[in-house]
Chain A
Amino acid sequence: MAGIRIDSVTKSYGGLAVLKAFSLDIADGEFVVLVGPSGCGKSTMLKILAGLEEASSGTISIGERDVTDLAPGDRDIAMVFQNYALYPHLTVAKNMGFGLKMRGTDPAEIERRVNDAAKILGIDHLLERRPRALSGGQRQRVALGRAIVREPQAFLMDEPLSNLDAKLRVHTRAEISALHKRLRVTTIYVTHDQTEAMTMADRIVIMKDGVIQQIASPDVMFREPANLFVAGFIGSPGMNFLKAKVETTASGTTAKLFGHDVKLPVANAATLAGKDIVVGLRPEHIAAGPGQVSFTVIPRLIESLGSEQYVYVDLPEEHRREASSGGEDESRRTSLIARLINPDPRPPEVTLTLSFDPARLHVFDAASGEAIR
């Protein structure tokens, strides 16, 4: 086991830069999740880490060893692929033992380790089967098993759960976390699913267009998103954004929200006067009924999950942001979502009072998208 140091790694295909100066220190035994939308460079980074692709520049070391231009097999890492990539012509046992065999491990030792790993994963009864005779979940375990038996310095996992059905995914997610607690092997896990990132990671690295947006623990990521992208990506449903302008009034530095002058929870409020900002408000921080800042709305749509309700409200024109070219969901720009826990049943299109606590607001610079604290 070892820490991993990634220093200013870049990758470009021709003129197209898919990874820009990626630097990250991973501690020994840490579980790091790279998350971001498709095309953000997270899988490319993982492949470079595995040695399956060449970095355009930068260095990578595992432990104290510089592995930047080392063959994948010489890096002492194991990888779990999205489609599992089990060898179809080999039995489960041979699949799991293949890497050890390539390294010239003694056959008796291979058998022992394969059996141990199979027991841990509960697949010891499948060892003589071929991959095509296994279910999706079983294949996934074999892929994990193939990584475990190697006892490598680090696990690299490339969206290992995305081919499982929803129920199995939640179950396996917990199992991988448990496995990590037990083995304490440094793990780099790539996913596009923020829920997986939030539930499994010690630290999350969130990426967009080849650039790291923020590196933080799940809690910090949720409470103190560094910019609009992170704020919108983490959490489900994502944060509501409202366009506003900073004003100086009697009660201090405020922004006009739903007709109220609302005090902004920022440190150097005075310097912001007259600035265009985006105010962020998490759906779960909106409550039904009056509160510190209340406003009435006519919901466009109410989705009920029983235990909670999603209330969709059309944003007033003055709070709508300009359409961006980033391919952002149009409805995110024009509507506000409130997530009400243990709600009373209520019909849509009937006037409703909602409220929020101004201390829960997030403030972002409208021009740069960076958080203002």
Chain B
Amino acid sequence: MPRLAFLDLARPSRRHWLGYLLLAPAVLLIGLIIVYPLFVSVDLSFQNVNIARLDQPRRPFTTANYERLFASEEFWYACWVTFKLVTIVSFFCFLLGLSTALLVNNRFKGQALARLLVALPWAIPEVIAVVIFAWLFDSSFGLMNWLFIRLGLVDQTINWFSSPDAAFAVVCTVMIWKGYPFVSIMMLAGLQSIPEDFYNAAKVDGARAWQRLIHITIPSLMPVIGVTLVLVMLWVFRDFSIIYVLTGGGPLKATQSLSIMTYEQAFGFFKMGYASAIGVITLIVCVIASRLMIARAPDNI
């Protein structure tokens, strides 16, 4: 069956066309739903628009949004909240994730089940995680208030969601609970890729358990730790659902991260241009972070 010579992509001289052809749908779709919106976003951030209507004539170019932003106390406070959140949540995600990974990596009966359970919170949608913790920290009948009183930590019920510090703590708790399984899964994968021979050699050399941890396990995990750290920090940085559903950014903006502020400005106050300016700032942070990660990523995990 002779094929049309020109269209016959099986011919050696035509085959590389197929590479482009296969990429075309992706390029088209990504162009339409990611790249174009990104341009719109940047464009909006330089206009004074209060509602995103693309069918209206473009407003004049202005840097007013950015000027207002950098002069706004709210923005810098949101940066501070975001920074606190990223630092605290990442730290505890690692503490918890690494220790559960080390624990579960031991050989014992039921290891498979333990692995499954330890990473289970990963499989709970964020909104559902919020429901669970909102009830656990309920101000009147929540289990946590009861527990804290029983343990003698407090003498009356705490209204978790009206105190800025308490609300911030609850947000952190939910994020840590939702985020540590990722670290745990990654660390387990990393641990399993360390050759058994390393440990045998160290045992022969007389290294104790903690020495093996410090001198073999942690250094071997370093590349994975680096990538995981960036991914976790980015996740906290970008997260919207947990904070928005749990506290809406309150009380007194104590939990308003940059993501929440962007959303509130855009869809609470309909200041689309101003919100886009914040979005562009977060975009720049994300791009730098992901570039850092790509540059440092190990060849394989």
Contacts and interface: CB of A to CB of B under 8 A. Distances in A.
Interface in A35-66: 48, 51-55
A372 to B, nearest CB: 42
A356 B271 CA distance: 97
A19 to B, nearest CB: 14
B10 A54 contact: no
A70 to B, nearest CB: 7
A85 interface: no
Q: Give the size category of B's interface with A.
A: under 10
A71 interface: yes
A103 to B, nearest CB: 9
A54 B13 CA distance: 6
Contacts of B1: 104
B11 interface: yes
B165 interface: no
A197 B10 CA distance: 32
Nearest to B1: A104
Chain B interface mostly helix, strand, loop or mixed? loop
Interface string B3-25: 10000101111010000000000
Nearest to B10: A71
Contacts of B13: 54, 69
A25 interface: no
A72 interface: yes
Contact of A54 (B3, B8, B12): B12
B10 A69 contact: no
Nearest to B8: A71
Contacts of B11: 51, 69-71
A74 interface: yes
A235 to B, nearest CB: 37
A71 B15 CA distance: 9
Contacts of A71: 3, 8, 10-12
Contacts of A358: none
Query: Which of B8, B11, B12, B15 is packed against the most chain A CB atoms within 10 Å?
Result: B12
A258 B220 CA distance: 56
A54 B8 CA distance: 14
Contacts of A55: 12
Contact of B10 (A48, A53, A74, A104): A74
A72 B15 CA distance: 11
A346 to B, nearest CB: 41
B193 to A, nearest CB: 24
Interface string A324-341: 000000000000000000
A48 B13 CA distance: 11
A163 to B, nearest CB: 24
Interface in A81-139: 104
B177 to A, nearest CB: 41
B3 to A, nearest CB: 8
A252 interface: no
Interface in B209-229: none
A73 interface: yes
Interface in A11-48: 48
A54 B1 CA distance: 22
Interface in B1-55: 1, 3, 8, 10-13, 15
A254 B12 CA distance: 55
A72 B199 CA distance: 50
Nearest to B2: A74
A71 B3 CA distance: 10
B47 to A, nearest CB: 46
Nearest to A55: B12
Contacts of A104: 1
Contacts of A52: 12
B220 to A, nearest CB: 31
Nearest to A50: B12
A74 B12 CA distance: 11
Nearest to B5: A69
User: Of residues A70, A73, A104, which shows the largest number of chain B Cβ atoms within 10 Å of its Cβ?
Assistant: A70
A273 B3 CA distance: 64
Contacts of A70: 11
Nearest to B14: A69
A54 B11 CA distance: 8
- Which residue among B1, B11, B13 has the maximum number of chain A CB atoms within 10 Å of its CB? B11
A51 B11 CA distance: 7
Nearest to A51: B12
A70 B10 CA distance: 8
A54 B9 CA distance: 12
Contacts of A53: 12
Contacts of A69: 11-13
A60 to B, nearest CB: 10
Contacts of A54: 12-13, 15
B10 to A, nearest CB: 3
Contacts of B3: 71
Nearest to A68: B12
B5 to A, nearest CB: 8
A104 B1 CA distance: 10
Given A53-B12, A54-B13, A69-B11, 15 more contacts: A48-B12, A51-B10, A51-B11, A52-B12, A54-B12, A55-B12, A69-B12, A69-B13, A70-B11, A71-B10, A71-B11, A71-B12, A72-B10, A73-B10, A74-B10
Interface of B: 1, 3, 8, 10-13, 15
Interface of A: 48, 51-55, 69-74, 104
23 contacts: A48-B12, A51-B10, A51-B11, A51-B12, A52-B12, A53-B12, A54-B12, A54-B13, A54-B15, A55-B12, A69-B11, A69-B12, A69-B13, A70-B11, A71-B3, A71-B8, A71-B10, A71-B11, A71-B12, A72-B10, A73-B10, A74-B10, A104-B1
8 interchain residue pairs of minimum CB distance? A71-B10, A54-B12, A69-B13, A69-B11, A71-B11, A54-B13, A51-B12, A69-B12
